[in-house]
Amino acid sequence: MHLIRLLVSGIDWINEWVGRGTAWLMLALVLVAFVVVVLRYVFALGWVWMQESFVWLHGAVFMLGAGYTLLHNGHVRVDIFYRTASPRFKAWVDIFGTLFLLAPMTLVVLYYSEGFVMRSWGRLEGSSEAGGLPGLFLLKTVIPIFCVLMLLQGLSLLGRSVLVLCGDQRYAPPEDNSEAF
């Protein structure tokens, strides 16, 4: 059990660190969006590379922040029973969801993104737009990074669930006190 606790805390630390770093990308995203809007509507100026940087930052924020969001139980759930269920029931649901939904889908994305990313790196692919950003291969690299971070956090979620099933309630998901609609 000690090894599982170490694994969980190590993975959680990685996604916490990546998530906090990604939060700084949000500041860049907001600043770029502000500049694009001001230049476009006040000065009638615009550059493709600047508009692309907004879209690329947006994609990077969502992909890099996904593991952090899973760590903090922030992903959208469509559930009827989970919110009010016991920690043991939640642990079983999390095990099932990780093994049969999260891991297979993430592994499929990882598998199919490999060739996509490798071809992009082979050409040092840039934007297809004239005046666009030159490093599209870097953005595409975020796809397998997203997969690895999600798989790691899924492994952490499995570890937490096993610990809960073994009686360690410190790893139980937090209670949801929000009101149902």
Report CA-CA distances (Å) from 170 to 12, 14, 82, 97.
14, 20, 18, 21
Q: Could you give the CA distance from residue 135 to residue 17 in angstroms, rounded to a whole number? A: 24
Q: Could you give the CA distance from residue 15 to residue 22 in angstroms, rounded to a whole number? A: 10
Both structure tokens of 82: 């989970």
The per-residue pLDDT for 149 is 97
The per-residue pLDDT for 60 is 95
Residue 85 dihedral angles phi and psi, to the nearest 5°: -80, 165
62 Cβ neighbours under 8 A, 6+ residues apart: none
For residue 106, is pLDDT > 60? Answer: yes
Stretch (H or E) spanning 74: none
Helix segments in 43-77, DSSP class H:
48-71
pTM: 0.87
- DSSP single-letter state for residue 180: P
Q: What is the pLDDT of residues 19-65, one digit of tens each?
A: 999 999 999 999 999 999 999 999 999 888 888 998 999 999 999 99
Residue 178 pLDDT class (50, 70, 90 cuts): low
The per-residue pLDDT for 180 is 46
Q: Considering the chain, what is the average pLDDT of its residues?
A: 90
Q: What is the pLDDT of residues 155-173, one digit of tens each?
A: 999 999 999 999 887 878 7
Cβ pair 132, 48 in contact under 8 A: yes
